[in-house]
Structure 1
Amino acid sequence: MNYQAFDASKKVLITGVAGFIGFQLAKRLLEEGAVVCGFDNLNDYYDVHLKESRLDILRAFPKFTFRKGDLADVAAVEEVFSAFMPEIVVNLAAQAGVRYSIDHPRSYIDSNIVGFFNILEACRHHEVLHLLYASSSSVYGNQQKTPFATTDNVDRPISLYAATKKSDELMAYTYSHLYGIPATGLRFFTVYGPYGRPDMAYFKFADKIRRGEVIQIYNHGDMYRDFTYVDDIVTGIEHMLMNPPAPNENGDRYKVYNIGNHKPEKLMHFIEVLENALGKKAEKEFLPMQPGDVYQTYADVSDLVRDFDFQPKTSIEEGLEKFAEWYRKFYVC
């Protein structure tokens, strides 16, 4: 392995900085002395108080600056690039959620398509050293072959959210090919941990367990997920920051990686571990599979191991214990 460690002198722009992964990445880099500019629209898709609490932590670092704005606003994106002049851009801002995309499709086009196009254009005109951007394991859809490899065909997304993420990968490739932008796509696999997203199943489970409410379990619990602890995600991204893709046989500086635990867990086992971590059992309602959901996710991370000598390793027992510890403190329970 011959990758370059992160250089804290580099200026890093993180979009979606008030979001789960964006916050955790910014915090890690700031702790290492980096100069970080965060960009976020602070929308109300989920609890804005949680987003503000993340920002409060980041604002304590003198090398952190924040710009409130929307990726779909081309003037706001151009302003932050011109003012901050980032050397590395990590685009984590997006409209998330598979089920939400079924009833609110336009927000996904505005943020994930138009917004990402604005990021690509800004990178084109400001000549950044490396663009990293969030994709998703959702692009794999319901394919039967496992584990999911980045060489697999992903032409059959089963949600608009997945379709927008696949579109981002295609646009990034085109901009890399046409304008020489070094671009790395990150297919995240079911990320969880402290300061996580309240719309994610494990967080909803924790909320309902705390309130003594019934949790809804889809496909009657017969589902598998490659749960990935957020610190592992951040470490993976940090390994990549200073290592833009080398030109391929066509001269394109473009690469996509899976970042997952390479160990799918049965949903019912995950719930049992969460119950143990919270010290309380859940009442359960078993329901059919929901539209847009997939039966399992399972990451092939061989490229990640080969190029960076790294793969996520945090067990769900360790990760959910850390989440539960944070959750009890944050919600005073």
Structure 2
Amino acid sequence: MRVATFNVENLDFSGPEGDESDSAFQERVRILRPMLERLRADIICFQEVHGQAAPEGQIGARSLRALRVLLRETRYADFVLSSTTLKGRADVERYRNLVVASHPEYVVEEVRELQNTLVNPPRYSLVTSNRDDPLIDVKWERPSLYVRLRLGQNDALHVLNVHFKSKNPTPVAGQGPENYQWRSPSGWAEGYFLSSMKRVGAALETRLFIDGIFDAETDPKILVCGDFNAEPDEVPVMAIRGRTEETGNPELNRRVMHPVALSIADSRRFTLYHHGARNLLDHMVVSRRLMASFRGAEIHNEMVHDESVAFATDDKYPESDHAPMVGAFDEAAYEVDLET
């Protein structure tokens, strides 16, 4: 089993409501398809997949038209797509959907979204804002996507696809940003603090869900992957891992989650460039059961570009500013090892 995670960076037709024939989108397809084929994945967790309205003259829900065009004529053409949706409607979100694309041999048993589902939005009193009422609810900006898959008679595979809040500061009324400028350093700092709350809060909610799976199963197969917008030693990643070094409780050892990227040489362990620095913001973290069958990981970062430099526009770099990561697991070998 090969599982990949890939932030495809605003996958969409060009223009407000374009179509697949526009040249900019076709160039993205030309670049992205070989990258996807190289993954040879059975399951792909996509982030930043935009949803498109029904074609002109047709009536229907907003759907993942751009992604389906991208996957057309690839090994993933008939994969099942499980995604985040517009709450209470059949439509997907307009922007930044999470999608789990799975081989049709995997039965999709459950799809669920987590967004302030297990953690109530914290109440926070703004200190730099000019709002009459400074109290706000700090809600996560994006849900996390849970998909339970099963291959044949095997145990269920619990997949969590995440895209936590970026480090860009959250706007603060009266402080900005306006024209990319903040009114004060304190306003910028408070916006940064709000973004940190959203990012860490979503990670906490994901960890709570993981512990719920451990409560229900003795040795579950859990895989969390996506764009954490955090380095390996930052709180969102460490919260998901739940290392014994942090909890101090050896009875929780079986609940520890393990990052597969540790098997990759440090010189290759990055998924994004920012101002010339290498960053590992995309992660794949798995339970002990999956780690026992882990065979290797790759980050396909040979062509990743630095989109933080001047004039690095999307039309100049149509692939993505994130590199995909793929992990290989051999459950059959794991079962043989147990028998012997």
Q: Whose strand fraction is larger, Structure 1's or Structure 2's?
A: 2
TM-score, normalising length: structure 2: 0.35
Q: Whose helix fraction is larger, Structure 1's or Structure 2's?
A: 1
Larger radius of gyration: 2
Structure possessing the higher relative contact order (Cα contacts under 8 Å, 6 or more residues apart): 1
